[in-house]
Amino acid sequence: MKLVAGNIFGFWMFLVVAIFTLVLINYSKSGKINITLRKIAGLEAIEESIGRATEMGKPIHFSPGLGDIIGATAAETFAALEVLSYVTRMSAKYNAELVVTIRQPNVFPLAQESVKQQYMAAGKSDMFKEDTVRFLSNQQVAYTTGVVGFMHREKVAANIMAGLYMGEALLLAEAGAQIGAIQVAITASMTQLPFFVAACDYTIIGEELFAAGAYLSQDRIKLGGIAAQDYIKLAVMATAVAGALLMSSGSNFLNRLLVK
Amino acid sequence: MQISTNIWHWFMAASILAMFSFLYKENPFYRVAEHVFVGSTAGHALGMAIGNIHRFGWRPFFEQSKYSLLIPLVLGIMLYARFIPKINWVSRWPIAFLVGVGVGQSIYTSLRTQVINQTLGAMIKIQGATLMQTVNNLIGILGLIAVLTYFIFSIQQKGVVRRVAHGGRWLMMVTFGVSFGNVVAGRISVLLGQLQNLLGTWLGII
């Protein structure tokens, strides 16, 4: 077996990152290290928004975004589904009605299963209804049109949007703002973040989406994964600075190593 | 002014106006347009899906004897087990397969594009041809450190870390502001397209 040129460094880095992550996960799982995540204010606001929906007797809307479970958008969708589990738990705790709208057919069974299981775990299976999770359309604009109409008709009190978003981000957030819903947006879609920042009450940005699952569940395995990512970020910072300094002094050693 | 006599242009104009009516408030015209839109796209997706199964599964398997397609065909059929309560657990297997493939596919590409390539992009020669270029390069490097510091979760944001992370947050907000302006300009061109449909294609004014 021969490694393809251009992917040699990537392959070895992948192995190192994978082993390092597994080691930290094991350490965290066995309690050898205690990981405490910094406060993420927007995530604390989810419970507040659900509490408000309960007081108003109006539903909560959750969207896991436009991403699929296959391909480059998978990570964001899985992170969004973790947030959905938490939202469902909170909705069961406060007896608030939850409606989940779906764009990707592949995400539908996962979301439905997740919501059903969380309600069962909370001993409130009766809160799950066939239309709690709704597939609207796999066409981006049609999905948005459906969500906007639904939010206005049902006058949702809380609108929680997590996952991948594209051009429809502002339309969804604007619709929520018009009806006075408390809005929490959680996305790593850099091009759509400005709209969420402008139109939502709380915006959880970038990598915070991926930390959300660990933060909300305080699961030791997930916390281990987050800690590993943090160390990788520190390594990236050190490499970038070292690379820039080397380049400035006339050496492109690190550049050549990374493109190998 | 030359109003179009094409029925589809009238349908297009009615749909656009029904959608625009939402600017006033949610109303029956918008509701009709919304349901027609959502329903027709869902129907289109169903048609496409059936066509894909026929084109990429059924026909090659039965007419071209590509028996390796038996695995995806069986996995696809297993997905429908969710409609039979007694055996709905069977549908979890193809979902698990899809999830596994999805994660497997994206794991290396994410590392390559989001870590290695980004790091490479940050390794720039600090001293530029002009003073402004040097300042720009320094902002690039320091900005990277500040923004990445903001996204470190397992270290509490206190003291220097807090200040650097706050700097990163400010940088992101500035970037978002620039991005907001760019996209709004893009959206105006979408609006212009619809106005062109109404005033040009339908009413023939422009």
Same domain, A210 and A121: yes
Task: Name chain A contacts of B22, Cβ cutoff 8 Å.
Answer: 148
Whether A100 maps to a domain, the answer reads: yes
Taking a contact as any Cβ pair under 8 Å apart, which residues of chain B between 142 and 201 contact chain A? 144-145, 148-149, 151-157, 172-173, 176-177, 179-180, 183, 187
ipTM of the complex, rounded to two decimals? 0.87
- Look at residue B187 in the predicted model and tell me its pLDDT: 84
Whether A190 has a pLDDT exceeding 90, the answer reads no
Confidence band (pLDDT; 50, 70, 90) for A144? Answer: very high
Task: Name chain B contacts of A196, Cβ cutoff 8 Å.
Answer: none
The distance of B2 to chain A (nearest Cα, Å) reads 30
Whether A3 maps to a domain, the answer reads: no
Q: Which residues contact B31 (CB under 8 A, 6 or more apart)?
A: A149, A153
Confidence band (pLDDT; 50, 70, 90) for A71? Answer: confident
Average pLDDT over residues A237-259: 92
Taking a contact as any Cβ pair under 8 Å apart, which residues of chain A between 153 and 182 contact chain B? 153, 170
Shortest CA distance to A172 belongs to which of A141, A202, A203, A136?
A141
Asked if A226's CB is within 8 angstroms of B105's CB, the reply is: no
Two tokens, residue B125: 């020669």
Return mean pLDDT, chain A.
92
Work out the burial of residue A196: count CB atoms within 10 Å of its CB; fewer than 13 is exposed, 13-18 middle, 19 or more buried. buried
Domain count, chain A: 2
User: Which residue type sits at A67?
Assistant: G
Asked if B125's CB is within 8 angstroms of A248's CB, the reply is: yes
CATH code of the domain containing A197: 3.40.50
Q: Note the helical H segments in chain A.
A: 8-30, 41-56, 74-94, 107-121, 140-154, 169-178, 193-199, 208-217, 220-248, 253-258
Same domain, A99 and A168: yes
Asked if A208's CB is within 8 angstroms of B26's CB, the reply is: no
Domain boundaries in chain B? 124-201
Same domain, A133 and A53: yes
Instruction: Supply the angle between the helices A107-121 and B92-110 in degrees, to the nearest 10.
Output: 110
Same domain, A68 and A84: yes
Whether A2 maps to a domain, the answer reads: no
Tens of pLDDT, residues B152-199: 999 998 999 999 999 999 999 999 998 888 888 888 888 999 999 999
Taking a contact as any Cβ pair under 8 Å apart, which residues of chain A between 44 and 63 contact chain B? none
The three-point CA angle A164-A183-A40 to 5° equals 75
Whether A201 maps to a domain, the answer reads: yes
Confidence band (pLDDT; 50, 70, 90) for A124? Answer: very high
Cβ(B199)–Cβ(B205) below 8 Å: yes
C-alpha–C-alpha distance, residues A246 and A255, integer Å = 9
Cβ(B18)–Cβ(B41) below 8 Å: no
Tens of pLDDT, residues B77-109: 998 898 898 998 898 899 889 888 878 877 888
C-alpha–C-alpha distance, residues A110 and B201, integer Å = 44
Task: Name chain B contacts of A9, Cβ cutoff 8 Å.
Answer: 116
Four-point Cα dihedral A241, A246, A248, A253, nearest 10: -120
Same domain, A244 and A127: no
Q: What percent of chain A has pLDDT over 90?
A: 77
Tens of pLDDT, residues B10-63: 999 999 999 999 988 889 999 999 999 999 998 998 999 999 999 999 999 999
Q: What percent of chain A has pLDDT over 70?
A: 100
Phi, psi of A64 (to 5 degrees): -85, 20
Task: Name chain B contacts of A254, Cβ cutoff 8 Å.
Answer: 123
The distance of A250 to chain B (nearest Cα, Å) reads 8
A20 DSSP β-pair partners: none
Work out the burial of residue B110: count CB atoms within 10 Å of its CB; fewer than 13 is exposed, 13-18 middle, 19 or more buried. middle
Q: Which of A9, A71, A152 sits opposite B116 (nearest CB)?
A: A9
Task: Name chain B contacts of A13, Cβ cutoff 8 Å.
Answer: 111, 115-116
How crowded is the C-beta side of A171, counted as CA atoms within 13 Å? Answer: 20
Same domain, A72 and A116: yes
Whether A207 maps to a domain, the answer reads: yes
Same domain, A95 and A144: yes
pTM of the model: 0.86
Task: Name chain B contacts of A14, Cβ cutoff 8 Å.
Answer: 107-108, 111
Q: Note the helical H segments in chain B.
A: 7-20, 28-52, 59-63, 70-79, 92-110, 117-122, 131-150, 159-196
Taking a contact as any Cβ pair under 8 Å apart, which residues of chain A between 91 and 150 contact chain B? 105-106, 109-110, 113, 135-139, 141-143, 145-146, 148-149
Work out the burial of residue B190: count CB atoms within 10 Å of its CB; fewer than 13 is exposed, 13-18 middle, 19 or more buried. exposed
Whether A252 maps to a domain, the answer reads: yes
Q: Which of A75, A248, A255 sits opposite B106 (nearest CB)?
A: A75
Q: Which of B40, B102, B153 sits opposite A70 (nearest CB)?
A: B102
Same domain, A202 and A170: yes
Range of the domain at A244: 8-34+220-258
Same domain, A170 and A235: no
Whether A50 maps to a domain, the answer reads: yes
Task: Name chain B contacts of A113, Cβ cutoff 8 Å.
Answer: 92
Same domain, A97 and A187: yes
Cβ(A184)–Cβ(A173) below 8 Å: no
C-alpha–C-alpha distance, residues A35 and B151, integer Å = 15
Phi, psi of A185 (to 5 degrees): -115, 135
Same domain, A26 and A84: no
C-alpha–C-alpha distance, residues A139 and A132, integer Å = 20
Buried b / exposed e over A101-118, threshold 16 CB at 10 Å, is: bbbbbbbbbbbbbbbbeb
Whether A150 maps to a domain, the answer reads: yes
Two tokens, residue A86: 């938490």
Shortest CA distance to B94 belongs to which of A110, A197, A158, A129?
A110
- 3-state SS assignment for residue A140: helix
- Look at residue A213 in the predicted model and tell me its pLDDT: 87
Asked if B30's CB is within 8 angstroms of A149's CB, the reply is: yes
C-alpha–C-alpha distance, residues A181 and A202, integer Å = 12
The distance of B164 to chain A (nearest Cα, Å) reads 13
DSSP character at residue B19: H
User: Which residue type sits at A192?
Assistant: Q
Same domain, A25 and A130: no
CA separation, residue B198 to residues B16, B21, B36, B124, B151 (Å) = 8, 14, 20, 50, 47
Tens of pLDDT, residues A200-233: 999 999 889 999 989 988 999 999 999 999 999 9
